[in-house]
Amino acid sequence: MRAALCATCLVDQFFPEVGEAVVAVLRRAGVEVSFPEEQTCCGQVAFNGGYEREAREAALRFLDVFDGSEHVVVPSGSCASMMKVFYLELFEDDPALLERARSLSERTHEFTEFMVNVVGDTAAAKGFEGKVTYHDACHSLRELRISAEPRALLEQAGAEVVEMQDSDRCCGFGGLFSVKYPHISTAILEEKLANIEATGADAVATTDCGCLMHIRGAMSRKGMQQRALHVAEALAAANAGEGA
């Protein structure tokens, strides 16, 4: 099985360790991983900001880069949903491009969904110790209907998954939302942090680096004891026998 990694902008700029963890876990599962170095942004930021022409240009570039890939794996529900859902909207007026977008949509997978529903073999991911609570990133949950998969992977890795109150509520990031409405974003985030702390978990895991950046930064500023990590990091740590 072959998969091309879409690193996403946040992984590329802020969380390269997440990309490395994804590659390590995929290779351990027997997946041949490639990384198209010419890849750029998928266009999500422009699309969410209302810049449809610019988003379409970025999406066209993305289609060209990943056209021949057997699978495309994305460590982000928001970027995966852009490719799987919103590319179909961007190209709905062009039958040829719509067909290419539909083909890419069918071959694109958020990382945890790919591991559980396509690879189907997570037995090697053992050795992670500690309690972990999970934050449902909005796009993963609402656009892609991904919820059970990351929890199953964490449990397979050996973590004790402790549910937080309102795990399915937004953390307040929302991409440009947190920039345009910082006071609302901060208020939402404070509720999320309180719910994380109340679980007594050693760490909070998520599948989206936007959420990870938002939550981890606030936890650091508040001096909270819990760690914030991507699910792929937990799985990679399990392979290395490292706990929360």
Domain 2-118 has CATH 3.40.50: yes
What is the pLDDT at residue 242?
Answer: 62
Quickly list H helices, 49-166.
52-66, 77-81, 87-90, 95-107, 111-113, 138, 148-156
Q: Indicate the CATH number for domain 126-239.
A: 3.40.50
Is 39 in contact with 10 (CB distance < 8 Å)?
no
**CA distance to 27, 97, 115, 161, per residue, from 236 (Å):** 11, 37, 13, 17
Whole-model pTM? 0.94
Give percent of the chain above pLDDT 70: 95
Question: Same fold for the domain at 2-118 and the one at 126-239?
Answer: yes
Q: Collect contacts of 149-155 with beta carbons under 8 A, ≥24 apart.
A: 149/112, 149/113, 149/115, 149/116, 149/117, 150/112, 150/205, 150/206, 150/207, 150/231, 152/116, 152/122, 153/112, 153/115, 153/116, 153/122, 153/125, 153/231, 153/234, 153/235, 154/128, 154/205, 154/231, 154/234
**CA distance to 19, 104, 144, 194, per residue, from 16 (Å):** 5, 24, 24, 28
Tens of pLDDT along 206-235?
999 999 999 999 999 999 999 999 999 999
Tens of pLDDT along 3-57?
999 999 999 999 999 999 999 999 999 999 999 999 999 999 999 999 999 999 9
Give the phi and the psi of residue 117 in degrees, each rounded to 5.
Answer: -95, -15
Tens of pLDDT along 150-178?
999 999 999 999 999 999 999 999 988 88
Q: Where are the domains of the chain?
A: 2-118, 126-239
